[in-house]
Structure 1
Amino acid sequence: MYGLFQTTKVLLCCLLVMWHGVEGMNTSAILDNILDGYDVRLRPDNSGAPVNVRIGIYVESMESVRESTMDFSVTMYLRMFWQDTRLSFHANEGIVFKGDAIDNLWVPDVFFLFEKKASVHSVTQPNRLLRVQSDGSITYSARVSATLACNMQLQQFPMDSQKCTIIMSSYAYSTADVILFLDEQSVEIEKGLTISKFSLTNWTYENVDLAYLLGNYSSPRCHFFFQRQMESYLLTVYIPTVLLVSIAWLSFWIDAKAAPARVALGITTVLTVTTMTAGIQETLPVVTYAKAIDVWLAVCLLFVFFSLLEYGMANYLLVKQTSQVKDYNDVELQTKEQMETEDLRKSSRSVDTKPQKRCGRHTWTAHRLDCYARWAYPVTFVIFNIFYWIYYNH
C-alpha cells in the first residue's frame, strides 16, 4: 500500500510539471503568434477611428511646492488604458510585458507639458509594466517622478492658495489619431499625503484640446489646489516683528535725557527688521508686485523708524527748552544785580512769567511729544493690523 501511494505521488508531480511546461509553451506560442507581423510603428486601427486612451494618475507623494523656482515635484503611477485588437488571443489569463519587452508594442507617446525634469524609476528593475488581455485590452503603468512648472500668484503670500496643474498630451498624434481623456476615477491620492508648507485641499480634472500648427491635440489636465500653512510664518515673522514694534514703543517711556538708551533701542530695532526683511526676500522669487509679507515688513520698518525719528524731534525740543531756560536764568541774574527798587523787582517777576507762558499748553516740549507718541503709536499699529488681516484674509 505504501509503495502504491508513493507511485501515485510521483505520477501527480510529473503531470503537474508537464502541465506547467505545456502552459509555458502555450504562452510562448501566443506571444509568437500575436507579435508575428505586428508593426510597432503603427497605432491600433491605423486607418480607422482614433484610439481612445484613458489616463489614470495615482499620486504617491508630493515632495515640495517651491515659490523660489515656481514648480512642484510629484511621484505618481501613470496608467493608460486602450484597445489594440491586433494583440487579441484565445486564453483565460492576460500576458504581462515588463522592462524592454514593452518596446515591442505600440504605446501612446504621452508627455508632460511644462516639465522641467522627469524620470521613470528603475530600482531594482524598470518600474514599467504592460498587461494584455485576451480581447486586446491593454493596461500600461509606470512609476514616474516629475518636476513641473507652476505659475504662482504671490500677492497674498504667505496667506495665499495656489493651483498647480499636471498637463499631458500626445507628442506626435493629433485628435485624428489618439484621444487622451480623464474621468472621475482617473485621479487617486495616497491617504495621509503630506506636503511641506502646504496642505492639499482639492483636486479636479478637465479634458481640453489644444490647437497647434500641426492640428488639435488632446491635453487632459489635473488641477491640484494647495493652501499654505501659516503657522511657521506666524512664529518666525509676524510675532517677532510685533515684538520689535512693541520694543520700539517702549522707547517713548524712557526719559528723553537718556540719549544712549533710546538711540540704542531705536537703531537695534531698525537693523533687526531690515535684516529679517533681507533674509525673507532671499527665499522668494523676484516679482513686480508687492506681496502681503512685503507690506507687513515695510510698515513695521516704518514704525520702528518713526520711533527713532521721534526721539530726534524730542531731543531737538529738549535742547531748545534747555537753551531757553538758560537764557531766562541769565536775564534773571542780570536784573537782580541791576534792579534795586521795588518797581524793578516787579518787572523782573514779570520776566519770570514769560518762560511759563511760552511753555504753556500750546508749546511743544520733549515730554509732551513723548506723551502723544505713547498713545498714537499703538493705536495706529492696531488700526493697521485690523485693515491688514481683513484685507488679505478676504
Structure 2
Amino acid sequence: MYLVGEIATFRRMLCIVIALMLVRFVNSTMNTSAVLEGMFAGYDKRIRPSCREDGNSSMATSDEDPPVRIYVQIYIESIDGIKETTMDFSITMYLRMKWQDSRLAFNGNRSLVLAGYGMDIAWLPDVYFVYEKQASPHLVTQANKLLRIYPNGSLSYSGRFSITVACNMQLNKFPMDSQKCTIIISSYAYNTDEVVLYGDEFSIVKEPGIMISKFKMTKHMVENKDIKYSIGNFSGVRCNFYFTRQVEAFFLTVYIPTVLLVTIAWLSFWIDAKAAPARVALGVTTVLTVTTMTAGIQNSLPVVTYAKAIDIWLVVCLMFVFISLLEYGAANYLLVGEMKSSESPPGSASQDSKQNELDLRGAQSTRRRRRLTANQLDRYARWCYPFVFSIFCALYWIFFLTMD
C-alpha cells in the first residue's frame, strides 16, 4: 500500500510539471506574438530607419536624418571556380548585415527571429552585387535567410547565395600570373546621404581548408569606397581577393613535354645525314606535336590582343623543332653536292689529259676542304642548338618570374 501511494504521488507531481510547462509555453508564444504585433503596429517598411538621436523614430525620416549605417560581412563557404575563358569567378557565401532600427525596439531579454519569407514585413537594405553575371539564393529546404531582432532595436540579417561575378584578368604572365577579383556590394536606391555601407578587416571570413581549382588564395582585404554615377554617389564595400595560379600542372603538361620534344629534335643531328627517312620522320613528328599542343592550349584560353608567356614559350619551341627540320634540308643539299663533286670527270688517255685530270682533282680536293660539308653542319648544330635553347630558357624564366 505504501508503494502504491508513492506511485500516485509521483504521477500527480509529473502532471503538475507538465501542466506548468504547457502554460509557460503558451504564455511565451502569446507574449512573442504580442511583441511582434506591438512592434509592427504602425510600422511602414517602405521608410528607411531614422537614426535621429532624439529617439523619435516613429516619424517619417527627413532630410536632416543621418544615413543608416549598415555593417557588411561575407562568409565564404566555397569558391567554385575561376574561369579565364569567360573572365569571371563563382562563389557560394553567406551575406550578413547589421544595422539599427529603433522602431523595432521592444522590452525583453531575448532576440526574435524572422525566417524565410516572414522577414519581408521589415525594412531591409536594398543591396546588390556590382558586375554580377548570375546569382541565385538557396531555397532548400526553405529560403536560406533570416532576420534577428534584438531588444535594443538592432537587426542582423543573414542570407546564403551563389553568385558569379566578372573578374577582369591580365594574362600577360600566364601561367605564372596572379589575379585580383573583387566583389562589390552597393546600395541600389539609397545614395550616400541615406545609406552607408561599411566593412572592416573582419568583413571577410572564409571556411577553413577551401580548395580552389588551379589557384591559391594569397590574401583578401576590404575597401570602403563610394561608387559615382550620374544620378549620385552610392556607398559600396569592395571585397578584394588575390589569387596566384598554381603552375605545377603546366610544368607537367606543357613545359616538360615541350622540352622533351626540343631534345628529340636535337637528337636528329646525331643521325647520319644519309638516313633521310629517320631524320625527316623525326623532324615532322616533333613539329606536328608542338603545333597540336599549341592549338589545344589556345582553345582553353580567351582570345586577347597581346602575347602570353605560354604563347612565347610554345612559339619559340616550335621554331626550334622547325629549325632542326630546316637544318636537315641544308645538310641534305650539301650531301648531294658532295656526291656530285666526288664523281670522276671524263678524260682521254693521253699524257696531257692525265695531267689535266690530276690538276682538276687537286682543285676539287682543295674546294672540298674549304667548303662546308653535311657532317660539319651537323657537328655545329649539335652544340649550337642546345646552347641557344639554354640561353632562351634562362632569359624566359628570369624575365617572367621577376616581371611585375
1:103-142 residue pairs with structure 2 within 5 A?
Answer: 103-142=120-159
Shift of 1:351: 2.6
Question: Counterpart in 2 of 1:23?
Answer: 28
**1: CA distance, partners of 2:69 / 2:16:** 50
**1: CA distance, partners of 2:287 / 2:245:** 29
**1: CA distance, partners of 2:38 / 2:217:** 48
Question: Counterpart in 1 of 2:57?
Answer: none
Match of 2:289 among 255, 272, 288: 272
Question: Counterpart in 1 of 2:345?
Answer: 330
Question: Counterpart in 1 of 2:378?
Answer: 370
* Residue-by-residue CA offset, 1:281-336 (whole Å, 9 max, x unaligned): 0000000000000000000000001011111111111111211112xx124xx2xx
Shift of 1:28: 0.2
Question: Counterpart in 1 of 2:53?
Answer: none
* Residue-by-residue CA offset, 1:106-132 (whole Å, 9 max, x unaligned): 110110000000011011111000000
Question: Counterpart in 2 of 1:91?
Answer: 108
Question: Counterpart in 1 of 2:160?
Answer: 143
1:40 equivalent to 2:45? Answer yes
Question: Counterpart in 1 of 2:358?
Answer: 349
Task: Give the percent of matched residue pairs that are identical in Structure 1 and Structure 2.
Answer: 55
Question: Counterpart in 1 of 2:398?
Answer: 390
* Residue-by-residue CA offset, 1:136-161 (whole Å, 9 max, x unaligned): 11000001110000000000000001
Question: Counterpart in 1 of 2:307?
Answer: 290
Shift of 1:348: 3.4
Q: Quick one: which amino acid aligns to residue 386 of structure 2?
A: P
Question: Counterpart in 1 of 2:387?
Answer: 379
**2: CA distance, partners of 1:339 / 1:390:** 71
**1: CA distance, partners of 2:205 / 2:222:** 11
**2: CA distance, partners of 1:238 / 1:185:** 41
1:13 equivalent to 2:18? Answer yes
Shift of 1:350: 2.9
**2: CA distance, partners of 1:100 / 1:16:** 30
**2: CA distance, partners of 1:238 / 1:5:** 82
Question: Counterpart in 2 of 1:217?
Answer: 234
Match of 2:244 among 220, 227, 246: 227
Q: Secondary structure at the match of 1:220?
A: strand
Q: Quick one: which amino acid aligns to residue 215 of structure 1?
A: G
**2: CA distance, partners of 1:352 / 1:213:** 91
Shift of 1:9: 2.1
Q: Secondary structure at the match of 1:305?
A: helix
Question: Which has the larger displacement, 150-159 or 315-324?
Answer: 315-324
Q: Quick one: which amino acid aligns to residue 365 of structure 2?
A: Q
Q: Secondary structure at the match of 1:89?
A: coil
**2: CA distance, partners of 1:138 / 1:167:** 22
Q: Secondary structure at the match of 2:345?
A: helix
**1: CA distance, partners of 2:326 / 2:268:** 11
1:172-251 residue pairs with structure 2 within 5 A?
Answer: 172-251=189-268
Shift of 1:339: 2.5
* Residue-by-residue CA offset, 1:176-227 (whole Å, 9 max, x unaligned): 1100011121111111010000001111111001111221111110111101
Structural RMSD (CA): 1.2
Q: Secondary structure at the match of 1:330?
A: coil
Shift of 1:101: 0.8
Structure 2 unaligned segments of length 5 or more: list them.
Answer: 51-60
Q: Secondary structure at the match of 1:371?
A: helix
Number of residues paired by the alignment? Answer: 385
Shift of 1:98: 0.8
Q: Secondary structure at the match of 1:166?
A: strand
Q: Secondary structure at the match of 2:165?
A: strand
**2: CA distance, partners of 1:138 / 1:184:** 21
> What TM-score does the superposition give when structure 2 sets the normalisation length?
0.93
Match of 2:317 among 300, 310, 323: 300
Shift of 1:345: 4.4
Q: Secondary structure at the match of 2:342?
A: helix
Q: Secondary structure at the match of 1:55?
A: strand
Question: Counterpart in 2 of 1:358?
Answer: 367
Shift of 1:93: 0.5
**2: CA distance, partners of 1:118 / 1:267:** 50
Shift of 1:347: 4.6
1:50-89 residue pairs with structure 2 within 5 A?
Answer: 50-89=67-106
Q: Quick one: which amino acid aligns to residue 23 of structure 2?
A: M
**1: CA distance, partners of 2:230 / 2:339:** 83
**2: CA distance, partners of 1:351 / 1:7:** 137
* Residue-by-residue CA offset, 1:14-38 (whole Å, 9 max, x unaligned): 1111011001000000011111111
Q: Quick one: which amino acid aligns to residue 192 of structure 2?
A: T
Q: Quick one: which amino acid aligns to residue 88 of structure 2?
A: D
Q: Quick one: which amino acid aligns to residue 208 of structure 1?
A: K
**2: CA distance, partners of 1:221 / 1:52:** 16
